[in-house]
Structure 1
Amino acid sequence: MATTKFKGTDVELLGNEVKVGDKAPEVTVVNSAGLADVVVGGAQGVKQLIIVVPSLDTGVCATETRNFNARAAKLEGVKTTVVSMDLPFASGRFCAAEGIDKLTVASDFRNKDFAKAYGVLLGGSVLAGVTCRAIFVVDANGIVIYKEIVPEITEEPNYDAAIAAAN
């Protein structure tokens, strides 16, 4: 059983654990801009940087998304997507207010298909039902080449390692 921590307490991660070397599950999430379907994972002919956050309505998630928005502008040929459980309307407002325009911000609110397929759904805790904080880099052929489950949900990920894997 995979776990992460929330304020020092172990939290179980539910779903199918995806590991480096695995085929990245292809999952449809909802874009915050226009409620269009967005496919993440699978073989898309380009690298994918998939950033998973619990909610854009928290300081750490907002900071992380702003940082990746700035860094994504420098990545060539990489599809960058932030996935959370936030409603698309709320994440759309966040993007508009924060100038998030170099990456796609999407929601897994409908069926939690992404969270279950990637093993990032938080189980029994006060945050049950949202995602943990994680990063996946998927190569053009749909293989996971980098994964980070941030050990403590309240902390930021290793930006440099994720960007290096995506380059």
Structure 2
Amino acid sequence: MDVTMKGEKFQTNGPVPEVGENAPSFNLKNLHNEDVKLSDYEGEVVILSTFPDITTSTCARQTDTFNTEGKELTNTTVLSISANTVEEQEKWAQAKEVDTVLLHDRDRTFAKEYGLYIEDMDKIARAVFVLNRQGQIVYREIVKEMSGDPNYEEALSAARHEEAELS
């Protein structure tokens, strides 16, 4: 899949999971170096928010927005995933009241499995997936211009819709 960074074209490593498919499982580390698996959130609505680099303004804004807005969702967990080091993520999180789960994809297994790995940059493409409580993808956005923001309201609306289905 093609994405751009400030107009320059880059290619991701492969097909990205589609709406209606089960989200591929993963096992990543959080800021406490603990294993976090997608299966840990079975029965919950999940927002997977991926971004290239937490140290940039757009990525920080994306993470902060989903962190802030995610607090309003009662049965949804936000998992924020990047290829940053745990130290870079910790530095960002120190200045925030973080409710989102920050995960680092050190060996890029998540990025590759989801078709979001950009080898030329060694980064993860900016994307948002919303998963229902059965782990199926009900919303997907791959941001074509990586310096741009995802559509926060559409993703949050999809999560709210899935939460309503839980009632």
The Cα of 1:105 is off from its aligned counterpart by 0.7
Uncovered stretches (5+) of structure 1, i.e. residues with no partner: none
Determine helix, strand or coil for the equivalent of 2:55: coil
Q: Which amino acid counterpart does residue 82 of structure 2 have in structure 1?
A: S
Note closer, same or farther for the CA distance 1:48–1:25 as it changes in structure 2 (3 Å cut).
Answer: same
Give CA deviations for 1:60-101 in whole Å, capped at 9, x if unaligned: 1111111111100001111111000011122012111133x2
Give the equivalent residue in structure 2 for 1:94.
92
| 1:9-28 correspondence to structure 2 within 5 Å | 9-28=8-27
For normalisation by structure 2, the TM-score amounts to 0.90
| SS of residue in 2 equivalent to 1:14 | coil
Higher fraction of helix: 2
Structure 2 CA distance for aligned equivalents of residues 38 and 123 of structure 1: 24
Q: Does 1:80 pair with 2:78?
A: yes
Instruction: Indicate the RMSD between aligned Cα atoms, in angstroms.
Output: 1.5
User: In the TM superposition, what whole-angstrom CA distance separates every residue of 1:101-146 from its partner, at most 9, and x where no partner exists?
Assistant: 221011001x21110111111133xxx2110110011111111111
Q: What TM-score comes out, normalization by structure 1 length?
A: 0.90
Identical aligned residues as a percent: 27
1: distance between equivalents of 2:79 and 2:48? 5
SS for the counterpart of 1:21 is coil
Q: Which runs of 5+ in 2 are unaligned?
A: 161-167
Alignment size in residue pairs: 160
**CA–CA separation in structure 2 for the residues paired with 1:69 and 1:60:** 14
Task: Give 2:163's aligned residue.
Answer: none
Q: Which residue of 1 aligns with 2:158?
A: 165
Greater mean deviation of Cα atoms: 137-146 or 14-23? 14-23
Shift of 1:29: 1.0
Describe how 1:77-156 pairs up with structure 2 within 5 A: 77-99=75-97, 101-109=98-106, 111-124=107-120, 128-156=121-149
Aligned partner of 1:47 in structure 2 is: 45
